Amino acid sequence: MNLAQKLISYHLVSGSMKHGEEIALSIDQTLTQDATGTLTYLEFEAIGIPRVKTKLSVSYVDHNTLQTCFENTDDHRFLQTIAGKYGIYFSKPGNGICHQVHLERYAKPGQTLLGSDSHTPNAGAMGMLAIGAGGLNVAMAMAGEPFWAVMPGATRIEIQGECKPFITAKDIILEVLRKLTVKGGVGKILEYTGEGIKNLTLPERATITNMGAECGATTSLFPSDKQTRAFLKAQQREADWIPLVPDPDASYDEEIRIALHTLEPLIAVPSSPDKVVQVREVGGTPVKQVCIGSCVNSSFMDIMLAARILKGRKIHPDVSLSMSPGSRQTLLMISENGALKDLIDAGARILECACGPCIGMGQAPSTGAVSLRTFNRNFPGRSGTPNDQIYLCSPATAAVSAVTGVITDPRDFLKRKITIKLPERYIVDDSMIIPPSREPEKVIVERGPNIKPLPLKEGLEKSFKAKIILKVEDNITTDDIMPAGAQILSLRSNIPAISEHVFSRIDAGFSERAKTAGGGIVVGGLNYGQGSSREHAALAPMYLGIKVIFAKSFARIHRDNLINFGILPLTILPDVYNILEQDSVIEFPHIVKEIQEYLYITFTDTKTGKNYKAEHSLTKRQKEIILNGGLLNYIKKRKM
Ligand code: MIC
Ligand code: SF4
């Protein structure tokens, strides 16, 4: 067996491990972050279980930490009190980004982790089966229910040789993205093997598994070996280590080879993580902003690399450089060893240990400016600036370019090699992680006025007509569907209010049109809903009455979220996509019967009177969920 198969077999509670079949996995650990967490815990409450049933559940606050309005601070109080009540650890704002802190303190080889954030596969670096999902799936896992998924295929990524100086883990994953694109990982687990991985430390491996999410992969995996043990030992938890490797004769569905010594410094140009070119191809482009941080590149080793490059230098007068450490542990360590001073001396602006600019919380670039970021996503407008010019690169490229003021290949600027070693001992201080209350019955959950109850939906009608409210292109992201950023994030616990912003960056009139039409249909291209796990991108359209999404194909997490909230995802052929027009009214004459009995749904374009077919690909369980109007209704019915 390959490693993915081993981990799946240890946790399989239902289904058979055949590629494409539905399987159910037991979940050991869960994580949530504030922007998806408020809904997750409202959903957990609605399920009605007195205490989480997982081995460990952690609630992090890292996305919307600025507390610029009461809504936001109220959310934090809600999260802290509800965590105390239901047996969940609470990582306070300022303690760090969920994926970084989880890797440092909790991830365990051999276990499963379900997180309400798409970069949960970060913990795959540890040989943990770590999967991103919608909040409702995480709530179900906390309630002791298994996680249902389609058995993924396994892609072996064989790594050979060693990186030349200033070629980093970020360049490796950018190379994977160049090869696979943002859709190439859908339905797959990316498993790293080969002698080239032996020298990659855990934080470097985490950069790689983190950004596998950008390929659409279910997760990414490294074996648990000497490097894993060294990291766990340095985190003072060597007892959590177990060895885990694929069998020598393991087979895979597909293989990719990467020879590290052939890699060049790489960069993703605006505005997709797979638009990867060599740094030298865009070298010399003037840069106004550089941001170092985000869950993919904010480890102690990443920040140290940037600090060593910047030591004794000053950043370019036209550049604004920000640095957000991934965790308080990292911040403590760089303050103790003097690297923080080097960064401040160089002119870096030190931000909180949080997602910050990555989710559009501050540092929106100036109009037309090039911003170089060590982040994982450069989807259009995500930074908060319309028509933004965001490039994604390694901390080495970012730090060097901050000094020169133009995009620079680190090898063209630095003379001597810089080596950052894994620390022998990290500073461990978990005092900003609050354990659950010993007297849960006494905890009063604090609910600010912005925290609104979850909207529910009726079951699916037997037949209906609905208008196409919007038609969009390929690779639409959940940032396009439900934007984040400083103005909108504080509405994450208020679906009626946040629904006003659905598709607002693409089409400002969308929510009004949907309301006037009493709901409708959206037509999308390939890989519809790629990117984040935010279930708001399904729940808010559901609130606006969207009943069906037609697309050429769907991203995994978003498709699950649509089903969870009773919106029917239907796959159409490219020819049908070309024919369907915005404003056409579509009739579904036998939709319920067809879901129950057939693989295809027939529908009529009432403008032309022509009939077409769309595939639903729903499993038996998913059919029940859709027919009942969503997962919460389905669970309630099951309980009765
Ligand atoms: C992201 O990077 O897009 C986010 C913000 O972390 C999301 C979660 C969210 O929208 O709250 C993700 O990756 O799932
Ligand atoms: Fe936070 Fe950005 Fe990572 Fe999402 S990708 S968890 S916003 S740092």
Which pLDDT value is given to residue 324? Answer: 98
pLDDT band at residue 36 using 50, 70 and 90 as cut-offs: very high
Residue 588: which domain range?
464-639
Q: Nearest ligand to the C-alpha of residue 211?
A: 2
Q: Nearest ligand to the C-alpha of residue 540?
A: 1
Query: Under 8 Å CB-to-CB from 92, ≥6 apart: which residues?
Result: 61, 80, 432, 433, 434
68 and 211 belong to one structural domain: yes
Give the pLDDT mean for 531-539. Answer: 98
Q: What is the CATH number of the domain that holds 604?
A: 3.20.19.10
User: For residue range 468-525, what is the model confidence (pLDDT) as tens digits?
Assistant: 999 999 999 999 999 999 889 999 999 999 999 999 999 999 999 999 999 999 999 9
Residue 530 tokens read as 């790629």
Indicate which residue's Cα is closest to atom 3 of ligand 2: 295
- At which of 236, 262, 288 does a domain end? 262
- What's the domain count of the chain? 3
255 and 277 belong to one structural domain: no
| DSSP letters spanning 371-409 | EEESSS---TTTTSSTT-EEEE--HHHHHHHHHHSB---
Phi/psi at 538 (nearest 5 deg)?
-110, -45
Residue 394, CA distances (Å) to 222, 343, 500 in order: 20, 17, 36
Is residue 311 included in any domain, yes or no?
A: yes
> What count of Cα atoms within 13 Å lies in the side-chain half-sphere of residue 608?
11
Give the pLDDT mean for 457-462. Answer: 94
Mean pLDDT of the chain: 97
User: Residue 640: is its pLDDT beyond 80?
Assistant: no
Which pLDDT value is given to residue 486? Answer: 87
Q: From the CA of 98, give the closest atom in ligand 2.
A: 6
Give the pLDDT mean for 577-602. Answer: 98
Is residue 594 included in any domain, yes or no?
A: yes
Nearest to 208 by CA among 122, 128, 277: 122
User: Residue 347: is its pLDDT beyond 90?
Assistant: yes
558 and 589 belong to one structural domain: yes
185 and 231 belong to one structural domain: yes
Q: What is the CATH number of the domain that holds 7?
A: 3.30.499.10
325 and 406 belong to one structural domain: yes
Which of 65, 324, 376, 390 gets mutated to test ligand 2 (max ligand atoms within 8 A of its CB)?
A: 376
Residue 583 tokens read as 């404003």
251 and 165 belong to one structural domain: yes
Please indicate whether residue 361, judged by its CB atom, sits closer than 6 Å to ligand 1: no
Report the separation in Å between the CA atom of 503 and the middle of ligand 2, taken as the mean of its atom positions.
Answer: 20
254 and 276 belong to one structural domain: no
Is residue 436 included in any domain, yes or no?
A: no
Is residue 434 included in any domain, yes or no?
A: no
Is residue 425 included in any domain, yes or no?
A: no
Report the separation in Å between the CA atom of 94 and the middle of ligand 2, taken as the mean of its atom positions.
Answer: 15
Is residue 323 included in any domain, yes or no?
A: yes
**How many other C-beta atoms lie within 10 A of the C-beta of residue 312?**
9
- Look at the block and give the residue holding tokens 């991103």: 132
**How many other C-beta atoms lie within 10 A of the C-beta of residue 369?**
19
507 burial type by CB count under 10 A (0-12 exposed, 13-18 middle, 19+ buried): middle
Give the pLDDT mean for 586-597. Answer: 98
Please indicate whether residue 133, judged by its CB atom, sits closer than 6 Å to ligand 1: no
- At which of 239, 262, 285 does a domain end? 262
Q: Nearest ligand to the C-alpha of residue 351?
A: 2
Is residue 442 included in any domain, yes or no?
A: no
Proportion of the chain above pLDDT 70, given as a percent: 100
User: For residue range 390-434, what is the model confidence (pLDDT) as tens digits?
Assistant: 999 999 999 999 999 999 999 999 999 999 999 999 999 999 999
Separation of alpha carbons 140 and 310, rounded Å: 46
227 and 100 belong to one structural domain: yes
Residue 472 tokens read as 């969009």
User: Residue 638: is its pLDDT beyond 90?
Assistant: no
Q: Which amino acid is at 29?
A: Q
Give the pocket of ligand 2 (CB within 6 Å). 63, 97, 117, 119, 294-295, 355, 358-359, 376-377
User: For residue range 249-307, what is the model confidence (pLDDT) as tens digits?
Assistant: 999 999 999 999 999 999 999 999 999 999 999 999 999 999 999 999 999 999 999 99
Q: From the CA of 533, give the closest atom in ligand 1.
A: 14
58 and 191 belong to one structural domain: yes
- At which of 240, 262, 284 does a domain end? 262
Which of 117, 120, 477, 482 gets mutated to test ligand 2 (max ligand atoms within 8 A of its CB)?
A: 117
Is residue 422 included in any domain, yes or no?
A: no
Which of 100, 211, 294, 532 gets mutated to test ligand 2 (max ligand atoms within 8 A of its CB)?
A: 294
30 and 172 belong to one structural domain: yes
Indicate which residue's Cα is closest to atom 5 of ligand 1: 359
Residue 570, CA distances (Å) to 100, 149, 194 in order: 36, 18, 40
Please indicate whether residue 38, judged by its CB atom, sits closer than 6 Å to ligand 1: no
User: For residue range 72-119, what is the model confidence (pLDDT) as tens digits?
Assistant: 999 999 999 999 999 999 999 999 999 999 999 999 999 999 999 999
484 and 612 belong to one structural domain: yes
End-to-end CA distance of the chain: 41
Residue 201 tokens read as 């430390």
Separation of alpha carbons 535 and 115, rounded Å: 12
> Which DSSP helix (H) or strand (E) runs through 12?
strand 12-14
Q: Which amino acid is at 109?
A: P
Report the separation in Å between the CA atom of 369 and the middle of ligand 2, taken as the mean of its atom positions.
Answer: 22
Q: Give yes or no for a contact between 558 and 537, defined as CB atoms under 8 angstroms apart.
A: yes
Which of 119, 383, 561 gets mutated to test ligand 1 (max ligand atoms within 8 A of its CB)?
A: 119
User: Residue 573: is its pLDDT beyond 80?
Assistant: yes
256 and 108 belong to one structural domain: yes
